[in-house]
Amino acid sequence: MKHHSFLKIYLTVLLVAFATQCSRSQQEINIQTEINVIGMTRPIPVALVGFSGEAESVLKFDLYVQGFSFVSPDTAQYEISGSNSGNVIGYVTDNFAKKNLLSRSYVGSSMRREAHAFADDIVKTITGQNGIAQTKIAFKAQRPDGTGEIYVSDYDGYNAVSVTSDDAIVAAPAWVPDRLALYYTSYKLGNPDIFYHNLSTGERRVFAGFSGLNTKAAVSRDGRVAMILSRSGWPEVWTCQPDGSNFRRMTSDIEDSSPCWSPDGQWILFATKINGRRTLAKVPADGGPVQRVPTPGALNPTEPDWSPDGKWIAFTSQMGEFDICVMPADGGAPPAVLVRGQDPSWSPNSRTLIFDQNDNYRQELSVLDVFTKQYKDISRISGSDSEPAWQR
């Protein structure tokens, strides 16, 4: 009976804490302004004139998910003009300064690729930042029976190509930085093994095939691999060298998952349980004590990803629904909930995320501009598309 009384008191405390958290929702909206210290809370208004068909559609998609909005020419500071008859010709004009900022013709490729190239030049011209329109993603495409393949496509989902033919359960693709190569998990041999696949040469081999779980490979800039192995009986963070030597257990927790590297290679961030509670934590890449990474207000965090510029951590929070959250990596502000979804992955520009979300019992991929919350669904192949990884 005493146990039941304690449980009632504990649940009452939880409900009060939850109610208090809800009452602070307005304050958390204010925090969203704080988090945008390197970005823009409002989209950049531009006018887009002269384009049609596929070129117009590509430009609108590329710019929208990088923080632009579209207005009439008489109210826009920047006018993006040109044509796409035969090939893409594009101009960027600053109407306020009455100055032409960009004039370029794009030849030698498909209309779609030329429009992507122009979009990247627009972003660079107006913001000074590199665009993402010509980048690639990898993801898992799952059939209704649970089997699937790993695909690679343009970041907007077009030109998707299956890079595996395992006809098995597959998961967790991860790019090797600056190389056309992937790690991923597959049950092709009957066990969840980590494979290495060089997309340029076609070389494919088992990288980690120990008895039990081998999954969630993540690669540092210098090629070191962090992963989840259950060699000791529990899923824990391990590392090894690029050649598969020097396997080293980094944690001794009972339920670790989803490791990722800090951009400088000094830390491995992952999800775990501490004192029975789901949390984020980090461990020095050379070994050392595990440090908890607080996510105040965002419960049950998992699937973290550290932005390439080192400033942000994106992760999934489960509070009834799955939410994409972002917080400063230095802990300077609480997490901001951005949109429903899970499995976030940063683009090379540290501004845009790709993630998956549920759509009528199927998963689909979307890209999100973190600082305006503008997002678009990308082109989908059949089945469920999930676990995206952005090449960088």
pLDDT digits (tens, 9 = 90+) for 177-227: 999 999 999 999 999 999 999 999 999 999 999 999 999 999 999 999 999
Residue 23 lies in a domain: no
Same domain (yes/no): 311, 180: yes
Check if the beta carbon of residue 250 is closer than 8 Å to that of residue 237.
yes
> What's the confidence (pLDDT) of residue 316?
98
pLDDT at 9 over 70: no
> What's the confidence (pLDDT) of residue 183?
98
pLDDT at 123 over 50: yes
Confidence of residue 22 (pLDDT cuts 50, 70, 90): very low
Share of the chain above pLDDT 70, in %: 90
**pTM given for the model:** 0.88
Same domain (yes/no): 110, 142: no
Same domain (yes/no): 112, 152: no
Same domain (yes/no): 117, 169: no
Phi and psi at residue 121, in whole multiples of 5°? -65, -35
pLDDT at 329 over 50: yes
Share of the chain above pLDDT 90, in %: 85
Residue 385 lies in a domain: yes
> What's the confidence (pLDDT) of residue 34?
37
Instruction: List strands edge to edge, sheet with 148-154.
Output: 161-162, 148-154, 136-142, 384-390
Same domain (yes/no): 58, 164: no
The dihedral built from the CA positions of residue 178, 148, 256 and 309, taken in this order, carries a sign that is: positive
Residue 102: CATH number of its domain = 3.40.50.11830
Residue 8 lies in a domain: no
Same domain (yes/no): 182, 118: no
Residue 20 lies in a domain: no
Q: Per residue in 267-324, pLDDT tens?
A: 999 999 998 899 999 999 999 999 999 999 999 999 999 999 999 999 999 988 999 9
pLDDT at 114 over 50: yes
Same domain (yes/no): 123, 142: no
Same domain (yes/no): 202, 313: yes
- The residue segments making up the domain with residue 102 are 44-127
Residue 174: CATH number of its domain = 2.120.10.30
Specify the residue for token string 């993402």: 132
> What's the confidence (pLDDT) of residue 241?
97
pLDDT at 247 over 70: yes
Domain boundary among 75, 95, 127: 127
Torsion angle of the four alpha carbons 152, 379, 216, 322, in this order, in degrees rounded to the nearest 10: 170
> Of 1-15, 104-118, 319-333, which gets the smallest average pLDDT?
1-15
Residue that wins the pLDDT comparison between 14 and 97 = 97
> What's the confidence (pLDDT) of residue 2?
35
Per DSSP, the three-state class of 6 is: helix
Same domain (yes/no): 168, 189: yes
Residues 46-57: what's their mean pLDDT? 98
**Number of folded domains that form the chain:** 2
pLDDT at 36 over 60: no
Instruction: Enter the DSSP assignment of 143.
Output: -
Q: Per residue in 133-184, pLDDT tens?
A: 999 999 999 999 999 999 999 999 999 999 999 999 999 999 999 999 999 9
Domain boundary among 110, 127, 144: 127
Residue 247 lies in a domain: yes
> What's the confidence (pLDDT) of residue 35?
41
Same domain (yes/no): 342, 272: yes
pLDDT at 378 over 70: yes
Residue 3 lies in a domain: no
Residues 377-390: what's their mean pLDDT? 92
Same domain (yes/no): 179, 199: yes
pLDDT at 17 over 90: no
Residue 260 lies in a domain: yes
Confidence of residue 31 (pLDDT cuts 50, 70, 90): very low
Residue 318 lies in a domain: yes
E strand or H helix at 205, and its extent?
A: strand 204-208
Same domain (yes/no): 249, 324: yes
The tokens describing 137, both together, are 């993603």
Q: Name the residue among 342, 328, 255, 322 with its Cα closest to residue 295.
A: 328
Residues 337-343: what's their mean pLDDT? 96
Check if the beta carbon of residue 210 is closer than 8 Å to that of residue 222.
no
Domain boundary among 109, 127, 145: 127
